């Protein structure tokens, strides 16, 4: 059973179910593949998965909502990760997070209304010597000050990145 969501290419739900059939943790692994494809787990896909696996939809949502890795909403075009590890927190990570929340009227774990940014907090990016650190789409920005955020984020807002 194939599905198309928001114009994305199709995912073969039956093929995924067959690939993971009889393997321990198969539901989680299938959900990982779905999210890797779409960036989140669309409701329509969950419904089809429920039918194909003969698993109640409630069980699928139980797994999705238990693990914070899984998302139920489409992610933003760009992901902003603000580090809140000890070094980053002590050197101003919370101020960066607050400034980004204010700039875009978004909370942790949410996507901006225009779909441009998804804001998340991470516990460590492994760049403690550069604290406070944030990452946008895998690019690290170190020793960031709140007054530098507009310059850092502006190219993303303008579509230059």
From CA 41, how far away is CA 64, in angstroms rounded? Answer: 8
Q: Which residues pair with 82 in a beta bridge?
A: 121, 134
Domain ranges in the chain are 2-66, 78-157
Q: What is the pLDDT of residues 68-117, one digit of tens each?
A: 889 898 889 999 999 999 999 999 999 999 999 999 999 998 999 999 99
pLDDT of residue 3: 45
Paired with 2 in beta bridges are 12
Written as six digits, the tokens of 8 are 């994305």
pLDDT of residue 73: 87
Q: What is the pLDDT of residues 40-65, one digit of tens each?
A: 999 999 999 999 999 999 999 999 99
Sign of the torsion formed by the C-alpha atoms of 161, 8, 75 and 83: negative
Contact 112, 76 (CB under 8 A): yes
Cα 75-76-78 angle, rounded to 5 deg = 120
Evaluate if residue 31 carries a pLDDT over 80: yes
Examine the pLDDT at 4 and tell me if it is beyond 70: no
78-157 to CATH, choices 3.40.30.10, 3.40.605.10, 3.20.20.100, 3.40.50.620: 3.40.30.10
What is the pLDDT at residue 75?
A: 85
Q: Which value, to the nearest 10 degrees, does the dihedral of the CA atoms of residues 10, 108, 57, 115 take?
A: -30
pTM comes to 0.72
């Amino acid at each position: 059973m194939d599905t198309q969501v928001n114009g994305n290419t199709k995912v073969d739900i039956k093929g995924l179910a067959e690939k993971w059939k009889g393997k321990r943790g198969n539901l989680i692994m299938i959900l990982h593949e779905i999210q890797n494809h779409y960036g989140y787990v669309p409701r329509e896909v969950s419904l089809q998965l429920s039918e194909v696996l003969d698993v109640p939809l409630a069980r699928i949502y139980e797994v999705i909502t238990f693990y914070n890795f899984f998302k139920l909403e489409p992610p933003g075009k760009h992901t902003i990760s603000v580090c809140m590890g000890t070094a980053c927190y002590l050197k101003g990570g919370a101020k960066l997070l607050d400034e980004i929340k204010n700039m875009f009227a978004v909370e942790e774990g949410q996507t901006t209304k225009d779909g441009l940014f998804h804001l998340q907090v991470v516990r460590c990016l492994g760049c403690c010597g550069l604290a406070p650190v944030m990452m946008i789409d895998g690019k690290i920005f170190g020793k960031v000050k709140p007054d530098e955020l507009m310059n850092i984020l502006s190219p993303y807002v303008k579509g230059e990145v």
